[in-house]
Structure formats: structure tokens, C-alpha cells
Structure 1
Amino acid sequence: MVTTGETSAGPRRSAARQLLSVLAVLVLGALVGGALTGLTVGVVLKDVALFCLGLGGLVAAALLVVVPARLRRRRQAVPVPRVALARIEYRRATHGEFADVPVRFDLTVAPDDAPAYRVYVHEQVNLVDLADYPEGRIVVVTYAESQPGGVELDRRPTEEWARRAADARIDTAPEHTRVKSEGAGWSGCAALLLGVLGGAALALLPYWGELGERFDDTSSSSSGPAVTSTVAPGASGGTTTVTTVTGSASSASALRPGEMRRLADTLVTGMDTELGTRITIEEKAMSAVGSKGPATGGGLPMSLRALPYELLPGLVETARTGLGIDHPETWRIDIAPGGGGPAPVVRVTVSGGGRSAYLLADAVGRITERHPG
């Protein structure tokens, strides 16, 4: 006769091992996700150090998989087989297309030297033999000593074990002793997926802004600003070219670092000259009056490439906050040569609520006059 106890140290140890296994899969997934993200971001941003870091992460993940597996195989090269009796608590057969059908058994396994425990077992059973496994029957099972969840029915037990099974009585083990069958299962797959996504997110977060700027630049450059030009004769025999560069609705604001310089380069290319007598900059557009030949009626020419575009966003911010316009809606920059020569004078105008104000600055961004609204 075999009876069961209320506690089971073996199943508890198995549950602890399964929890550690899930945590290990979670860490491994995070490492793989972070490494793959590092490789991808490194290629996109052309960051060699980040690419090498991602490659190193993949190598580390491979070592974490291969080395423990080999050590396990060495320790368990010859698994110790165990034989025990088990009680069929419940069985469920599903319909199949062949003579053998999959059957799910709910067993109470009662080892000779350990407390009994519950486990689910999946077996292929011939329809003819299905009647030999009724609920409540005592059967012989086998499993590896280190894997109590990997239970299999012994279809041809020895005479001794068959006799013990015929004479034994096994009490049903409580549900809290249940041991999961071997295999990664849904918990392992979910842990791996969660780890990969979490690792990818953690690796991507520090580079999110830089990636956004990179893709914004790519989008802006792919669409390209629209350039329109109008050529008219100048007052002194030269020609005057009015060229406008207009960005699309998705283009970056001209106040974004580097954007004014990019628009100016496009403007100069469209004008086919870098000399101009006036330039106007707004949120999504830049226009200039170009000059080929001697000075025209518009004033002395100045070099459009030499203008202090990097200083202009700061002047716009000062005008927005320091000229008394509470809610500025629009801004505009006008640059023209000063009265005493080609040195540019910068005028920044802001408007909002039916009011406007402006400030004047020199070529180095120094504010010379303020005219509050």
C-alpha cells in the first residue's frame, strides 16, 4: 500500500528551479533584444562603438546558451532512471485521424523514497488500449531522477512492478504538489518575448531623440524644399533674382538647429549666386533678392553664405519673450546691408494678438535696438 503526505519538498524544489529557469530566459531575452537593437541603431547612426557593443551582446547571449547546456549534458550524460507507481486521477482523449490518439493524463506519482505529487502527462494511446487506462487505476511510470515532471507511462513493466501495481493503493495527492511537465511551455515563451521587448526598449531609449532627428532629416531631404525664382533686370544693368525656398507641411521649422543653413545652401544653389541684397526668413520659407553684376537699386550686395544663421534662432526666442507680446503667433527675420556698407543688419519681428514688435541686431548677434509692442 502506498499513501501520500501533505507536503512535498521535491515538487517545491522543482517549482523553484522552474522559476529560476523563467528568470534566466527573461534575462537572456533582454540581452538578445538589447544586442539586436544595438546592432540596428549602430548601423543607422553609423556608431561603430554601439555596433560592436551589440555584436558583443549577441556573443555573450550565445555563450549563455551553449556553455550551460554543455555543462548540463556533462553532468547528466547518463540520466538516472526512476520507476514509480502512479494513480490515474483523470484522463481526456481527443479525436485523431489515426489509431493512436493523444491522451492527457492527470497522475498522482508516488515514488518509494519521496512524497507523492501531481503531474500532467501527454501520451499517444491506441484506441484499442484506451480501455486499459481507466480513472483510478494504478500504473507504472518512469522518469529521470533530475526531471520529476518528465513522467512517461511504462507500457511493459517488469513482473515485479506489475505485481506491485496490482496490489497497491495510492491516495490522491493535493493540488499544491503539482509539478509542471518538462519543456519551456507558455511561461518560457512569454518570458523570452517579454525579455526581448524590454531589452530592445531599454537599448533604444537613450538614442530615441537622435534617431528621431535622423529620420526627420531623411524625410525632409527626401521630399526636398520647393524652389521658385523670378529674374528681372537691375537698375544698373545687372540682373536681380528673387528666389524663394518653401518647405512642405512636414518639413522642420527653420528655427531647428542647422535648418536655416540648409535652406540657405538650397537658396544659393537655386539663385546660382551667393550675393544678395535682402533675405527674409519665416517658419517654413526663406527668400532672397539676389544680385549678379554691379550693385543694384536694392542696396550693396552681401554674401548669403556668410550670414550668422546659427545665431538667429536665439534672436527669435529673445523677441518672443522680451518684447511684450504675450502670445506671439508669427515671427519673421529680415536681413539687409546697413547704411554704411555691406555689413548686415538683422531685424526680427514678432506678431500676436493684433500687435507686433521688433528688435535689431548686428552681424554677430548683438542686439542694438529693441522696439516693444
Structure 2
Amino acid sequence: MVFFTFASVWCGLASSFDSLLAARAVQGMAGAVYTVAPTVIAEVFFLHERGRAMAIYTAFLAGGPYVGGISGSYIASSLGYQYIFWISTAFAVWSLLMQYLLVPETLFDREQQVLGDSTPLGGEDGITQEKSQISTVERAAGSEVPARYTYIQSLGFGRYRGDWLSHFLAPWLSLRLPGTWVVVLQYGALVGGVVSTATIGPMFLAAPPYLWHSNVGLFNLGGLVGVAIGALFTFLTADYMIKWRAKKEQHGFSEPETRLPVLIPGIFLGTIGLWTFGFCAANPSAHGWAGLVVGSGMHAAGLTMVPSIGFNYLIEAYGALSGDCFTMTSVARSVVGFAWTYFTAEWIMSAGPALPFGIFGMLTTVFGLLALPLYFFGKRSRIATAGFVSERHGF
């Protein structure tokens, strides 16, 4: 967040395209901090609360670009595009302060602080050895073991564990897990659709017969409404499903696959939204803008609903390894978002919008249907790949 703040200032001060491009590269690198958020949610909220918490997170994740799309055109036309980055700086500073003051450090190891032992965890007998040491210290020290630690100590700075190379490779090794592929492909397809509608929609509305000019940013209102509807639906249903299923089981537990049926409405809306957008874009009319806006909103609802469930599945299926899985979803989001902007506009203008958006919708459906084998065989796949998870953490 510190790097993101300084990069935002750099963007606002950039006086050339090369300088702005370099600043944006640093800003994008630092912005990858959002990958940590789902892991924090996993560690702070209980199983039956996690669906609602993740719905709120994905609502902001998906809704942010639409808010920027609505306000950006007005800010740029009245104050200059650099002013957008100063607003971004203000939000970055506020977020940095709130993160420092309000977000708990979920990796703070109180027992390790008691021991004063910097031996890295994760070795073959690391966990067993540490617990034995803690028990010995507590018996020997008795009441002398410190009861409280300062806030600065709880931040845990300087207690990095493991080696850089293994942590760098870990996200790529998570591709050995079927659930990672399913979530990455679904999320990538939906992000590609959003990039396409957000890029092409304003271009169509700025041209005849619409001629919205500087008001083309209002196109994103449909997406913002769709995000709100999708978040509300997921907020109400994601945790309800696992509670309902747990009551049906004699043991009272719920499997991670229980959440997956909630994906179906999101995949449906995402697909139909792209097809609606493509059809209306291919057949412009006096009121055809409504179809563009509604189609974009339907797809935005799917973008909010599907990752909410997918991220929770990764948490519950792979536990501590889910952070590595989230890194891969971020890579997919970035690669798709970057690549789509290069060929989408040219392809749509040359082939017409019907064919490209028809293919985008088909891909959304195909990748969405991968949830079916995961629902029926997900537990077997988790058992088959359990060795990868234990291998990663030394258990």
C-alpha cells in the first residue's frame, strides 16, 4: 500500500507518456496487495460467516471499476486526467491507515514470540518440535511468561519464515489442484467479458445513433446495479446453503462442494449478459442503449457472484494453501485484463460484436460447467491431491 500510494503520486506528476507508463507499472505491481484480502477473510471469519464476508469483498472488487468508469470521464473532462490519480492517492492513504489500525495481523505467532525462537516453521518436525518447546517453556516459566504484547510487536515485522524461492514457486504449484483451475478459468472468463463490455460499450454509445459524448461513463451504472444485486444474492445464499446441508447430515458438517450450486445463477447471468450486450451492439437502435446497459449489468452480477463462491471453495478445500491459489486468480485477472484490451476492440470492429460476444458467452458457460464435475468428484480430487497440500506445508 505504501508503494501504491507513492506510485499514485507519481502518476499525477508524470509529464510524459513514458513516465506515466512506468508509474502505472509500479502501481499495478503494488496493487496486487488485494490478493491477501481473501486469505485474511478466511482467517478472521468463521465458516458460516465467510460467504457474507466474501460477498462484500467481491462487491467492492467488482464495483470499483464501474465507479471509476462513471466518475472518470467527468473528472478527466472538467479537471484533467491527472486529477484521477490524486483522488486515487487520497483513497490509498485512507486505506493504508485503516489497514494499519483496524486489520488484525492474522499471522502473528504469540507462542513463537514467547519462545523467542526464530527457527522457521514448516520443517519435517517443525510443528511437533515447536509445540513441545512451548509446553516446556510454559511449565518452566509459569507466571513469568509475558501475558501481553505491544501493538507493534503484534505486527510481527521482521519474522519472515521460509525461503523466497519456495514462496515464489508455491502459487504455480497450486495449479496441481483441480479447484484452482476451475476458479481461475471461471474468473478469467468473467473478467474478460467485463473488459470487453467496458471497452466497447462507451465506444458504441459515443457514436451514432446514441452520441452520448462525455456522458458515456453513465454506461457503467448498469454494471454498478448488477454488482449490488449479485452481492445481495450471494450475501443471502452463500452461507445458507452450507447451514442447510449441515443440518441434513448426521455428522453436522458441510463439505466445500456444498457452496458450488450457488455458482449456477451467476454463470447464467454472466453468459446471458454477454449475449444480450452483443446482440444489442450488433443491432443499434434509438433505444438499443438499454440492452447494452442491462447486458452489462447482468454480466456484472455474475462477476460478483461467481468469485465469491469460488474463493470460499478454495479456502475450505485447500486451507492454508488457498493464499497461493488466490495469487493465481490474480495472475489470471491481470493477464486477461491486459491481453483483452489489445485485440478485443479491433476484433469486434472488424467482425462485428455478435460473433465475439457470442464466443465470450460460450467460454463463460463452458468454464462455468466445470463446477459440475467439481461438485460430484471434488471430494475425491481433494483426497487424491492431499499429498500436495501436506507437502507444501511440511505436515
Taking structure 2 as the reference length, the TM-score comes to 0.20
Identify the structure with the greater helix proportion: 2
Bigger radius of gyration among the two: 1
Between the two structures, name the one with larger relative contact order (CA 8 Å, sep ≥ 6): 2
Identify the structure with the greater strand proportion: 1
